[in-house]
Chains A and B, each alone.
Chain A
């Protein structure tokens, strides 16, 4: 079985400060890991993914994520937060070489960036 945990329901950060949204995963095998963002009453937008190779993945809107196999984590980061980054963020996982099975999502973390 595969699962994702996002331990924080809410993250608050001041504008201009660095932000981190945490994600840990559990899979049998190697993971493919994804981050999505959702604005109110909208669908999810893809930010970035880790497949293999470099542990630091860069994505859209200045976001990046670091894959840590020993800690089974894939935390989302941004060096300087913007008010417009305020949204709901989802981490997702799929086991590598399992076919295109559906992604398993975490419960989401609401990010609030305060001006």
Chain B
């Protein structure tokens, strides 16, 4: 899983609560991404950031928020507005922004369960 850490590995939340998932990388990568994985649906992009203090919505951003105050950190907050948050969340990074052929490196994931 490279130099990307995600914590916690398992997270339980009560309905109506906000929760923040951590993603840290020590790879000195410029770009970072958050994906949601549900069985049979593959990976769906939530948010991504090409540079510090900038980020863009992905395909399913509603009910989520992010920040990118430091190059190595890209936390994801799952808000109470997200109607079905139970899923496996994956953080990824790419060494450069603005150069196309780079692969994404993934963290080990956080499994969020809403009780």
Interface residues in B6-50 by Cβ distance below 8 A to A read 6, 30-31, 33, 35, 40-43, 45, 48, 50
Q: Which residues of A contact B48 (CB under 8 A)?
A: 102
Chain B residues in 8 Å Cβ range of A105: 35, 42-43
Contact in complex: B97, A100 (CB < 8 Å): yes
CA gap between A95 and B100 in the complex, in Å: 8
| Interface size classification for chain B | 20 to 34
B68 within 8 A of A: no
- The segment from A13-21, A38-46, A62-70, A71-79 that touches chain B is A38-46
Shortest distance from the beta carbon of B76 to any chain A beta carbon, whole Å: 14
Asked, given contacts A43-B90, A43-B109, A100-B98, whether A9 binds B103 with beta carbons under 8 Å apart, the answer is no
Interface positions, chain A 33-53, Cβ under 8 Å from B, are 34, 36, 41-46, 49, 51
Are the CB atoms of B42 and A94 closer together than 8 Å?
no
- With A41-B109, A42-B109, A43-B106: A107-B96 Cβ-Cβ less than 8 Å: no
Assess whether B115 is interfacial by the CB under 8 Å rule. Answer: no
Nearest Cβ on chain A to B92's Cβ, whole angstroms: 8
**Candidates B50, B100, B102, B105; contact of A97 at CB < 8 Å:** B100
Measured between beta carbons, the chain B residues less than 8 angstroms from A34 are 103-104
Mask: chain B, 73-115; 1 = CB below 8 Å from A; 0 = not = 0000000000000001010101011111111111111010000
The reply on A96 being an interface residue by CB < 8 A is yes
**CA–CA, A74 to B6, complex, Å?**
31
- Knowing that A100-B98, A105-B42 are A-B contacts, what are 16 other residue pairs whose CB atoms are under 8 Å apart, sorted by A's residue number? A9-B40, A34-B104, A41-B88, A43-B4, A43-B6, A43-B106, A43-B107, A43-B108, A44-B90, A44-B104, A90-B42, A94-B101, A95-B100, A99-B99, A100-B94, A107-B42
Q: Which residue of A lies closest to B31 (CB)?
A: A100
- On chain A, the residues within 8 Å of B35 by CB distance are 105
Given contacts A42-B1, A107-B40, contact A49 B101 (CB under 8 A): yes
The 4 A-B residue pairs with the shortest CB-CB distance, nearest first, are A43-B106, A107-B42, A105-B43, A44-B106
Tell whether, in the assembled complex, residue B101 and residue A32 are in contact, meaning their CB atoms are under 8 Å apart. Answer: yes
Is A103 at the interface (CB under 8 A from chain B)?
A: yes
